[in-house]
Structure 1
Amino acid sequence: MRLFKELKQSMANDWGGSKPPAAEEDKEFLEKKDKINELEQQIINASQQAETLVKAQQDMGETMGELGLAFIKLTKFENEQAVFSSQRVRAADMKGLATAAVKASRFYRELNAQTVKHLDTLHEYLGLMLSVHGAFSDRSSSLLTVQTLLSELSSLQSRAEKLEAASSKIFGGDKSRLRKLEELKETIRATEDAKNVAIREYERIKENNRTELERFDQERRADFLNMLKGFVVGQVGYAEKIANVWTKVVEETNGYANDST
Structure 2
Amino acid sequence: MTYQISSIKAFTDNYIWALHNNTHALVVDPGDAKPVVAFLKAHQLTLDCILITHHHFDHTGGIAALTAAFPKAKVYGPNNPTITGINYTLQDSDTLHIKAFDITFTILATPGHTLDHIVYVHEDFLFCGDTLFSGGCGRMFEGTPDVFHTSLQKLAALPSRTKVYCTHEYTQANLAFALSVDGTNSELNRYSKWVNAQRQQNKITLPSTIGKEREINPFLRCHSNAIRKTIFENYSENSALTTQIGTFAKLRELKDNF
> Which of the pair has more CA radius of gyration?
1
TM-score bucket (shorter structure): under 0.3
Higher strand share: 2
Greater relative CO, 1 or 2 (CA 8 Å, sep 6+):
1
TM-score where L is the length of structure 2:
0.22
Higher helix share: 1
